[in-house]
Amino acid sequence: MPSLPRIRRAAGRSASGADGEAPATREPDIQRLEAHGLTWLNIESPTEIEAAWLAENYEFHALDLEDVLSRRRQRAKIDEYDDYVFIVLHFPRFDKRTQRLQAAELNLFVARNLVITLPNEHMKALSAMFSRCVSREETRHEFMGRGSGYLLYAIVDAMFDYCFPILDKIGFKLDALEDEIFEGGGEDIVRDISNVKQEIINYRRIIQPQRPTLRRLEREVQEYAPQDLEIYFDDIVDKNERIWDLLEGYKEVAEALEATNESVITHRSNEIIRLLTILSALMLPLTLITGFYGMNIDALMFAHHGWLSVAFVLVVMAGTATGLLGWFRHKKWI
């Protein structure tokens, strides 16, 4: 593998020359860090310019560079070659624009004394780790002093650590939904439950396909580390499994909350129907009485006694309603 040349950047270069020549080609945007004989390159959102630079300086397979540039999400995988390993992993991120969890793709080239990270978009955990290594000597020694295999472990471990706050937010949402359900949220939280379920589904879709890939990591990069990394990569597998177990639990909780909310809505609807039924049952005999005394028949009791007839009808209606209510209570319908 060719040695890595230093990257030179032109300062204050204008878009076009003084004589009106074509605009200068943009130089590759590559972050570089060297320590303890190990080189770490971080290329965020790589374009064809960065891919061409990699092809010129390294003997990477063309299909791997094609995967790096692909705008379609690649499956999680490890491609092993004679002198390097190409790895594709996915991690969840919250898209503020769509208000949904999306998969962020991280491509990595790992060789002896070389690690290249190529996130397809900005990843806070990765950028923060790179910045700490740049600014702190002890951090550089910790992460880059034990070979490229250990640096790979540290990067993947940091990315998985970043997954847990997202899980915590989902857990907080489920707790809040549970409180709202029993406080009378009803139909208003149906959409909230649906959104949380969608987040859980998206998270599961990101994590599940790479579970077998993570189990292969230690074996594939063992030759690039001066020490046994099995226990370290086992820790990553454990974190992935813990995330999966939490998602399984959240999935069951979301389904239970959905069922509970439907039961609350159904119970509330039944209460309304029961109340309306009681009112209808009360009004039916009262309507019958008023309809009966509304007939122009002289034989009706107190038909020609003015207000006395009105009082008589009202007393009969009140007595009928009271009797019906007493009967309903005796039957324990109310």
pLDDT digits (tens, 9 = 90+) for 163-197: 999 899 999 999 988 888 877 665 668 888 888 99
Residue 224 pLDDT level (bands cut at 50, 70, 90): confident
The pLDDT value given to residue 14: 37
d(CA 4, CA 89) in angstroms, rounded, equals 25
Mean pLDDT of 250-256: 92
Q: Flag whether the pTM goes above 0.75.
A: no
Please give the Cα distance from 237 to 184 (Å, whole number): 41
Which helix or strand (DSSP H or E) is residue 78 part of? strand 77-80
Residue 259: C-alpha distances to residues 245, 252, 263, 264, 281 (Å): 21, 11, 6, 9, 32
Q: Give the model's pLDDT for residue 87.
A: 93
Query: Which architecture does CATH list for 31-266?
Result: 2-Layer Sandwich (3.30)
CATH of 269-330, one of 1.10.1060, 1.10.150, 1.25.40, 1.20.58: 1.20.58
Residue whose structure tokens are 């878009």? 15
Q: What is the pLDDT of residue 226?
A: 66
* Strand partners of residue 110: 85, 115
Contact 62, 86 (CB under 8 A): no
pLDDT at 13: 37
In this prediction, residue 75 carries a pLDDT of 86
Give the pLDDT band (50/70/90) at residue 258.
confident
Using CA of residue 248, residue 249, residue 255, residue 258, what is the dihedral sign?
negative
Check whether 304 has a pLDDT greater than 80: no
pLDDT at 18: 42
DSSP, collapsed to helix, strand or coil, labels residue 192 as helix
Sequence ranges of the domains in the chain: 31-266, 269-330
What is the 8-class DSSP label of residue 187? G
Residue 333 has pLDDT above 60, yes or no: yes
Across the chain, mean pLDDT equals 80
